[in-house]
Amino acid sequence: MLQQQPLTGNGPSNGRGLGVSGHPGMHALNSVHQPSQHRSDGGESGLEGTENGHETRRDIGDILQQIMTITDQSLDEAQAKKHALNCHRMKPALFSVLCEIKEKTGLSMRNTQEEEPQDPQLVRLDNMLLAEGVAGPEKGGGAAAAVSAATSSGGMSPDSSLEHSDYKSKLSQIRSIYHTELEKYEQACTEFTTHVMNLLREQSRTRPVTPREIERMVAIIHRKFSSIQTQLKQSTCEAVMILRSRFLDARRKRRNFSKQATEVLNEYFYSHLSNPYPSEEAKEELAKQCGITVSQVSNWFGNKRIRYKKNIGKFQEEANLYAMKTALGARQGDDSPHTPNSTGSGSFSLSGSADMFLGVPSVNGEQSAYQMQVLQIVSLFRDLLII
DNA sequence: GACAATGATTGACT
DNA sequence: AGTCAATCATTGTC
């Protein structure tokens, strides 16, 4: 990509032409001084030689002065001066010397050029963007992962697909913005690099610019743009995280169970009123029937037990309804409301936790206590019939 | 908006 | 680990 010599234009090659071999700059400098030495040895004129030497130094001083002041001048003046300097007879020699000095100082810089290890933070950001489906091929793997993570903890609500599409569309927006910006940055980086390289090529005609220096400059530019890209990646990651947390929060919101699900749970509860503690298997079956998770079933039974116990009177009507329903269903050979907890129902006892329910003081007086007893008997009958 | 209903969470207990 | 009890936060109804 970067060529070794042509970048310096006619400088070093011409300079080398003045010397003998090897170190172009020093030989060029020697060649500048040589005439005075040779001539003082009894050439055409010793005085003339000395004058030549002085004249040469004046030339160099003049050139250096012009270079030093070139930035203070207007663009047109500088352009004209640049041209004049390029054509100056001493230019190749001076150019070579500067090249050599630069080469020497460049050695120390070369050593300081470290091999940049890949930034671990950048790696993390890249990995995350890839996992979230923002970077890499468009497939929405991350979205699917987020969706599955969310649904595994909550249970699928009827409008979950709606939220999925909402999440996906938001993620796709982020993805689109990310790629647009990334492309913009890359384009800007390329343009800026080209611009700087052209500038350096141009400058290399009047000052020594080594290919290595250009390489370094390009590397610096790339580093700068890379840090901008890192910022972009960081912002994108933050946006994804916010979106994701919002999505998860939204799913964590309480949703009332469907009427059908509540019906199934209530049927189990009132038909097992003597021992409303479904086994793990029963919970799983109920969860399956209701389209909720096992922990949601546990929550529901926990709440139901406590609320029922707290206010039996309030639940009386409901209890009667379900007791009648299940009893009727069992008599007709209808097995719809029963769950596979036959082991539990078969061994119901009136002691232990069940006593808690039977022994609860009635808020509605004796009538409620009597009804409770009836319900218990109905429930037991129902279970026996099912078995 | 007030209120009841209800699903979820939390800490203590067994 | 499962349950109870209190509580929170949201939803549904009026």
- Greater confidence, A188 or A82? A188
Do A126 and A233 form a contact (C-beta atoms < 8 A)?
Answer: yes
- Using the CB atom, is residue A316 less than 7 Å from strand B? no
> Which residues 145 to 174 of A reach strand B, CB within 7 A?
154-155
- So what's the pLDDT on residue A161? 52
A255 CB less than 7 Å from any atom of strand B: yes
Give A101's Cβ-side CA count (13 Å radius).
10
pLDDT band at A106 (very low <50, low <70, confident <90, very high): low
Question: Distance, angstroms, CA A242 to C1' C3?
Answer: 36
Asked if the Cβ of residue A139 lies within 7 A of any atom of strand B, the reply is no
Residue A70 pLDDT: 73
Per-residue model confidence (pLDDT) at position A205 = 75
How many angstroms is C1' of C14 away from CA of A254? 21
Q: Are A335 and A387 in contact (CB under 8 A)?
A: no
Q: Given this model, what pLDDT does residue A103 score?
A: 67
Q: Which residue, counting CA atoms, is nearest to the C1' of nucleotide B5?
A: A256
Average pLDDT, chain A: 67
How many Å apart are A74 CA and C10 C1'? 72
Tell if the pTM clears 0.85, that is, is over it: no
Contact positions of strand C to protein Cβ (< 7 A)? 2-7, 9-12
Q: Is the CB of residue A259 inside 7 Å of nucleic acid strand C? A: no
Per-residue confidence (pLDDT) for residue A328, from 0 to 100: 74
Q: Once rounded to an integer, what is the mean pLDDT over residues A50-54?
A: 62
pLDDT in tens, A194-238: 888 888 888 877 777 777 788 888 888 888 888 888 888 888 877
Where b means 16+ CB within 10 Å and e means fewer, A102-123 reads bbeebeeeeeeeeeeeeeeeee
Closest nucleotide to A154: CA versus each C1': B8
Q: Which pLDDT score, from 0 to 100, does residue A290 have?
A: 92
Q: Is the CB of A302 under 7 A from strand C?
A: yes
Rounded to whole angstroms, the distance from the CA of residue A252 to the C1' of nucleotide C10 is 11
Query: What DSSP designation does A363 have?
Result: S
Distance, Å, A89 CA → C10 C1': 88
**Residue A357, CB, strand B, below 7 Å:** no
Whose C1' is closest to the CA of A353: which nucleotide? Answer: C3
Q: What is the pLDDT of residue A52?
A: 64
- In the predicted model, is pLDDT for residue A159 greater than 50? no
More confident residue, A147 or A169: A169
Q: Is the shortest CB-to-strand distance from A246 to strand B under 7 Å?
A: no
Amino acid at A273: L
Averaged pLDDT for residues A259-269: 92
Q: Determine the nucleotide nearest to A304 by Cα–C1' distance.
A: B6
Higher-confidence residue: A162 or A254? Answer: A254
Closest residue, CA to C1' of B9? A299
Residue A46, CB, strand C, below 7 Å: no
Residue type at position A130:
L
Question: Is residue A372 over pLDDT 60?
Answer: no
A165 pLDDT exceeds 80?
A: no
The pLDDT value given to residue A277: 95
The tens digit of pLDDT for each residue in A296-333 reads: 999 999 999 999 998 888 888 888 888 787 777 766 65
Does residue A306 lie within 7 Å of nucleic acid chain C, judged by its CB?
Answer: yes
pLDDT for residue A17 is more than 70: no
Question: Average pLDDT in the A170-187 region?
Answer: 84
